[in-house]
Chain A
Amino acid sequence: MNIAKLEKSFDRQRSEFPKIYWLWGIAFPLLLTLIDWPFRDMLTPSNILLVYLLGVFIVAIRLGLWPSILASLTSAAAFAYFFAPPIFSFAIADQENLVGLAVMLVVGVVTSNLAEDVRHQARIAEHRERRVSALYRLSKELTEACSEKDIIDIGVRHLHIEFGARAILLFPDGNGTLHYPGDAPLEIVDLTMAQHVFDQGQIEYDSTGPALYLPLNDSTGIMGVLALESVNAQRILIPEQRELLGAFINQISHALKRARLAEQANDATVKMQAETLRNSLLSSISHDLRTPLATIVGAAGSLETDDERLSKDSRRKLVGAISQEAQRMSDLTVKILEMARLEAGEVILNRQWYAAEEIIGSALHRLDKTLKNRQVNVQMADNLKLIHVDAVLLQQVMVNLLDNADKYSPAELPIDISVATTPFSLSITVADRGPGIPENFQQQIFDKFFRIHAESTQSGVGLGLSICRAIVEAHGGDLQASNRNGGGTLFQLHLPILECPPTIAPEEKDRCDGND
């Protein structure tokens, strides 16, 4: 529907006033007539005319122009009939009284116009103040909002308070097509019309809705569409309210723009950090992969070209180097891939009920060769319950921690593993008697590619512990490093126990041998 036509009809409605005002225009002079009647002998007609004048004056101030004219006419009639000689007749004998009546009529018109003007000014001032304070409240809340969602929520709430209308903000996707926000009530918006408003930038009114569609502008263009369901269209469509609505939309658009810019800036920072990380990853990987690769390529090359000139012993040494370095590369590749998978969020935990004992056992078995000459003490609390974990990943954690302990502590000193439980968590500690970790590094050792002695001869990229922490955190647990009493490093792993392990039916008592 045409907006201008609609507005005009509301304007007309507004200038009308209640029918009771007309009634007062008649009733008030009649009331004065009743009051005056007992005193008709004491007062001269011109005094009585003054009382009527007062009445018209009051009606003019309180009720406006037309009731005051009506009151003037009623007063004139009542005066002529009851007070001006000859009484009980509308005829007026005295010229003076006629002049008085004319003056009364003029006073009524002038006064009511003046009063109307004052009232109008006051009303405007009051409206303006209300609008300013509404706008102020909105902008105050908007400045405190930090996310786009907060801004939308605040905007919608204030629109509702001020205009008594539910509002929805619609934003385009990458292709410029508007979409519903997930939680909005569906029935009030016509998406085709909203899309039209978004494309054209024109305000539209949907008479069947009824809903009003307004474009959200910012300096660069239309960022979305505001759909306003108006229960009371009048509250929205009168010009002052339209102005206020415009101001609201401006505020909301600017707040949104600001939030988006902030987000972009934040994205840029994150991207920069990722970039730095990628660079450190690349330099680390390229160093740690190139070194063994150089050995392999070199050794294989001499075997290929100088085969006859090499002694049996040197051939064996070269082959040994190839095999050893290839193994090192393999371990590294596995770690890098694992970290990449964990980082990419690609890992879905395959949680099953497992015994901690079994996980530690399989980790120790995997490190059989590494730990061949190492004393490893395992201390298990009695009656450990099953834990709901991804056994493959948790085994990886244990392998990395044990491998770490083996690398950084003298071979003749033992590694101690202990497992304890509380009703709500399971803790596993792996402790060695190595040099320990300086306190300022106890957090950093879990950072990717961090090594306390960067150029140490120990192989590894500094990913093992980061992988451990990522896995433990994926399980909702935490992993901490500290120095052990009496020297050495202590890794403590806590896993929350979130649900009780399932129970199993007890086995029937018929034993296979009958005497256990």
Chain B
Amino acid sequence: METIKPLLLLIEDDPQFRLLLSTTLESRDYRVLTAASGRDGLDAARHRQPSLLILDLGLPDIDGQQVIRHLRSCSELPIIVLSARDRESDITQALDNGADDYLTKPFSTAELMSRIKALLRRVAKLPGGGAQESFQVDELKIELTRRRVFVGEREVHLTPIEFRLLSVLVRNAGFVVTHRQLLKKVWGASYVEHSHYLRIYMGQLRHKIEADPARPRYLLTEAGVGYRLNTGEN
């Protein structure tokens, strides 16, 4: 039923900012449910079944991280986290706790819209689509099942680890994947503190895929947080 507008839940304690976001979102064909505190937000998430949550990390009653953990224990509700700029550790923690994406304040509404859209699209794809076959952005083409990677016409040969690393990013294309998540998925849980593995392999991967590894087009660094495979959308 495509005519029903998606319901978004917004948990934000600042009334002005809440008003701004809800007005903007409503003008873009979303229905918006607002909550000023973590507890009200959790209640609303349980009873109203929203399609997506926009969560400010600094809440007056319970910690935003706790809200994420609560929700993740029982639901797959997509979460976008809002945070102040200088709190990379909060962002990383939120993502590791299960948030899907983040924005640092201040951000443009256009950016928020594109993140919401991308996240809703990803959720829509998941149930029916099954495993993703291939991924393409600009010149870069990755065939996941056949384990082949092309840049333009040229086939790029990757080592097993390089391929695993790239495929984790492909499966989350457009979204940031934290260092911890990557280390865990590619090397295993005992490697989560060995960030130098990630740097070295990411460097190798860039040298094989990027035209100018110092100004990457595809494999973007989110300093202090993780990596994002560019989908060319934002």
Residues of A within 8 A of B (CB): 326-327, 330, 334, 337-338, 341, 350, 352-355, 357-362, 364-365, 376, 378, 380, 386, 391-392, 395, 417, 501-502, 504, 507-508, 510-513, 515-516
Give every chain B residue within 8 A of A358 (Cβ-Cβ): 199, 202-203, 221
Residues of B within 8 A of A (CB): 85-86, 88-89, 106, 147-148, 157-161, 163, 194-197, 199-200, 202-203, 206, 212-216, 220-224
| CA of A360 to CA of B86, assembled, Å | 19
Give every chain A residue within 8 A of B163 (Cβ-Cβ): 512
CB distance from A395 to the nearest CB of B (A): 4
CB atoms of A392 and B214 under 8 A apart: no
| CA of A71 to CA of B50, assembled, Å | 120
Give every chain A residue within 8 A of B195 (Cβ-Cβ): 352-353
CB atoms of A507 and B199 under 8 A apart: no
| CA of A364 to CA of B216, assembled, Å | 9
CB atoms of B197 and A504 under 8 A apart: yes
CB atoms of A361 and B221 under 8 A apart: yes
A334-B203 in contact given A362-B221, A507-B160 (Cβ < 8 Å): no
CB atoms of B196 and A362 under 8 A apart: no
CB distance from B217 to the nearest CB of A (A): 9
| CA of A511 to CA of B199, assembled, Å | 20
Task: Determine the residue in chain A with the shortest Cβ distance to B92.
Answer: A350
Give every chain A residue within 8 A of B89 (Cβ-Cβ): 350
| CA of A515 to CA of B202, assembled, Å | 21
Contact of A391 among B148, B159, B224 (CB under 8 A): B224
A355-B199 in contact given A364-B215, A513-B148 (Cβ < 8 Å): yes
| CA of A515 to CA of B148, assembled, Å | 12
Give every chain A residue within 8 A of B203 (Cβ-Cβ): 355, 357-358
CB distance from A515 to the nearest CB of B (A): 7
CB atoms of B214 and A360 under 8 A apart: yes
Contact of A510 among B85, B160, B214, B224 (CB under 8 A): B160
Give every chain B residue within 8 A of A417 (Cβ-Cβ): 214
CB atoms of B159 and A507 under 8 A apart: yes
CB distance from A74 to the nearest CB of B (A): 95
CB distance from B89 to the nearest CB of A (A): 7
CB atoms of B157 and A515 under 8 A apart: yes
CB atoms of B106 and A512 under 8 A apart: no
Give the one of B85, B159, B221, B223 with max A CB within 10 A.
Answer: B223
In the complex, the number of residue pairs spanning A and B with C-beta atoms less than 8 Å apart equals 90
Top 9 A-B residue pairs of the complex, sorted by shortest distance between their CB atoms? A516-B157, A392-B224, A362-B221, A353-B196, A378-B214, A395-B223, A362-B223, A392-B223, A391-B223
Sampled A-B contacts (21; CB under 8 Å): A350-B88, A355-B199, A355-B203, A357-B206, A358-B202, A358-B221, A361-B221, A364-B215, A378-B214, A386-B199, A386-B200, A502-B194, A504-B194, A504-B196, A511-B159, A512-B159, A512-B160, A513-B148, A515-B157, A516-B158, A516-B159
Give every chain A residue within 8 A of B224 (Cβ-Cβ): 350, 391-392
CB atoms of B216 and A361 under 8 A apart: yes
A361-B214 in contact given A330-B106, A507-B160 (Cβ < 8 Å): yes
Give every chain B residue within 8 A of A360 (Cβ-Cβ): 214
| CA of A504 to CA of B183, assembled, Å | 13
CB distance from B159 to the nearest CB of A (A): 5
Give every chain A residue within 8 A of B157 (Cβ-Cβ): 511, 513, 515-516
Give every chain A residue within 8 A of B213 (Cβ-Cβ): 357, 361
Give every chain A residue within 8 A of B212 (Cβ-Cβ): 378
Contact of B86 among A337, A380, A508 (CB under 8 A): A337
CB distance from A497 to the nearest CB of B (A): 14
Given A337-B86, A341-B86: 17 more A-B contacts, CB < 8 Å: A338-B86, A350-B88, A353-B199, A357-B206, A357-B213, A357-B214, A358-B199, A358-B202, A360-B214, A362-B222, A391-B223, A392-B224, A502-B194, A504-B200, A507-B161, A512-B163, A513-B148
CB distance from A268 to the nearest CB of B (A): 34
| CA of A326 to CA of B108, assembled, Å | 11
Task: Determine the residue in chain B with the shortest Cβ distance to A509.
Answer: B159
CB distance from A91 to the nearest CB of B (A): 112
A365-B216 in contact given A338-B86, A354-B199, A504-B200 (Cβ < 8 Å): yes
| CA of A337 to CA of B88, assembled, Å | 15
Give every chain A residue within 8 A of B148 (Cβ-Cβ): 513
Give every chain B residue within 8 A of A327 (Cβ-Cβ): 106
CB distance from A403 to the nearest CB of B (A): 15
CB atoms of A392 and B197 under 8 A apart: no
Task: Determine the residue in chain B with the shortest Cβ distance to A368.
Answer: B215
Task: Determine the residue in chain A with the shortest Cβ distance to B104.
Answer: A334
Give every chain A residue within 8 A of B206 (Cβ-Cβ): 357
Give every chain A residue within 8 A of B158 (Cβ-Cβ): 512-513, 516
Task: Determine the residue in chain B with the shortest Cβ distance to A510.
Answer: B160
| CA of A354 to CA of B158, assembled, Å | 22
| CA of A440 to CA of B201, assembled, Å | 45
CB distance from A35 to the nearest CB of B (A): 98
CB atoms of A334 and B223 under 8 A apart: no
Task: Determine the residue in chain A with the shortest Cβ distance to B146.
Answer: A513
CB atoms of A365 and B147 under 8 A apart: no
